[in-house]
C-alpha cells in the first residue's frame, strides 16, 4: 500500500453554461499549487457542450503544460450522441498522456451511458496505439470483469489504474459497503482510486484513502460542495481540503513527478 495519494482534478461541471479556456487553465494552475497532479478534461465548446472539435481543449491545456508538469488526462466519455471515434478525438492532441476509459454501459440518472463492447475495444486500441495510459472508470462490479477480459487481447501498460465511481442515481451507491465490495474485485497488483460523484462530504473519500486508494478525483465536474452547508467558489478550495485530509491521515500528496513515477508516465519533454 502506497502512502502517496494522487489528486486528480475534474474542474468543469457538465452543466456549466460557459467554458472559457483561459479561465479553466487558471483554475487548473491554481489547483496545482494546492496539490493537484492530474487534470481530467472533457472536450467542450464555449457553451459547455461535448464536441469532437478539440480547438478549445488544446487552448486550455497549452498554458497548463507551459507552467506545470501536471499530467493531462482526456476524457473519452460523457453522455452524448457522439460516435466513439468522435469521443476519442482528444487522444490525438499533443500533450495528452492519460485518458479515461469507460468499459461498460450503465444507468446514470435518467440517462443511459452507452458503452457497447465494440466501442470499448475501439477506444482501448486507440489509447494503446498512442502510448497513452488508461484510467479505467468502474461504475459497477461487472465492469472490472470487462477490463480483465480486455486485458487478454489488448496490451495495456501496467500498473493498471481502476477508478471506482460511486453515487450516480441508478448505479452503485456511495456507501462504505459498496466501496469494499468494489475494491475486493480489483486485482491486488493494480492501482485504484475513487470518484465520489455528488458528494456533500468527504467521508467516502476518507474511507478510500484509508483503504489504500492511490488516487482521488475531485472538482466541479462531480460536485460543488466543500460540506453539506458550503459550496466551493473555486476548484482549488476542494483540492486544498482534500490535501489537508490526506496529510491528516499521515499520507503524502503526490506531486506530478511522483504521480508520473507511480503511473509509469515519463517526464514531459519541454521545448
Please give the grid coordinates belonging to residue 92. 490525438
The whole-number mean pLDDT for each consecutive block of 10 residues of the chain, a chain of 271 residues, reads: 90 93 97 98 95 96 96 93 95 97 93 94 97 97 96 94 96 96 96 92 95 97 94 97 97 98 90 56
| Integer Cα distance of 252 and 244 in angstroms | 10
| Integer Cα distance of 11 and 220 in angstroms | 5
pLDDT of residue 1: 57
Using one digit for the tens of pLDDT, what is the confidence trace for 173-227?
999 999 999 999 999 999 999 997 888 999 999 999 999 999 999 999 999 999 9
Domains and CATH numbers, the chain: 4-263 (3.20.20.70)
The DSSP code sequence of 177-228 is HHHHHHHHHS-TTSEEEEEETT-SSSHHHHHHHHHT-SEEEESTTT--EEET
Q: Give the relative orientation of helices 117-129 and 141-151 as an angle to the nearest 10 degrees.
A: 50
Neighbours of 68 (CB within 10 A): 19
Contacts 24+ apart (CB under 8 A), 94-97: 94/58, 95/61, 95/62, 95/65, 95/268, 96/61, 96/72, 96/130, 96/132, 97/71, 97/72, 97/73, 97/132, 97/133, 97/265, 97/268
| Integer Cα distance of 160 and 177 in angstroms | 23
pLDDT of residue 80: 87
pLDDT of residue 271: 56
Strand, coil or helix: what is 94? Answer: coil
Amino acid at each position: 500500500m502506497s502512502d502517496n495519494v494522487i489528486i486528480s482534478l475534474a474542474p468543469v461541471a457538465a452543466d456549466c453554461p460557459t467554458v472559457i479556456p483561459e479561465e479553466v487553465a487558471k483554475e487548473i494552475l491554481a489547483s496545482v499549487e494546492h496539490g493537484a497532479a492530474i487534470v481530467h478534461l472533457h472536450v467542450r465548446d464555449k457553451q459547455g457542450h461535448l464536441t469532437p472539435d478539440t480547438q478549445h481543449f488544446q487552448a486550455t491545456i497549452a498554458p497548463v503544460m507551459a507552467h506545470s508538469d501536471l499530467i493531462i488526462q482526456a476524457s473519452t466519455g460523457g453522455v452524448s450522441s457522439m460516435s466513439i471515434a468522435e469521443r476519442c478525438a482528444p487522444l490525438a492532441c499533443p500533450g495528452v498522456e492519460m485518458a479515461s476509459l469507460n468499459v461498460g454501459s450503465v444507468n446514470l440518472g435518467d440517462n443511459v451511458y452507452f458503452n457497447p463492447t465494440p466501442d470499448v475495444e475501439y477506444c482501448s486500441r486507440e489509447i494503446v496505439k498512442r502510448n497513452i495510459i488508461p484510467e479505467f472508470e468502474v461504475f459497477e462490479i461487472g465492469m472490472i470483469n470487462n477490463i480483465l477480459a480486455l486485458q487478454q487481447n489488448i496490451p495495456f501498460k501496467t500498473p493498471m489504474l481502476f477508478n471506482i465511481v460511486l453515487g450516480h442515481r441508478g448505479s452503485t451507491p456511495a456507501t462504505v459497503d459498496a466501496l469494499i465490495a468494489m475494491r475486493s474485485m480489483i486485482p491486488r497488483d493494480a492501482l485504484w482510486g475513487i470518484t465520489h460523484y455528488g458528494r456533500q462530504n468527504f467521508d467516502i473519500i476518507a474511507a478510500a484513502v484509508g483503504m489504500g486508494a492511490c488516487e482521488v478525483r475531485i472538482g466541479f465536474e462531480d460536485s460543488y460542495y466543500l460540506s453539506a452547508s458550503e459550496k466551493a467558489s473555486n476548484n482549488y478550495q476542494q483540492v486544498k481540503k482534500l490535501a489537508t485530509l490526506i496529510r491528516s491521515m499521515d499520507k503524502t500528496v503526490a506531486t506530478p513527478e511522483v504521480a508520473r513515477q507511480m503511473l509509469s508516465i515519463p517526464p514531459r519533454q519541454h521545448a
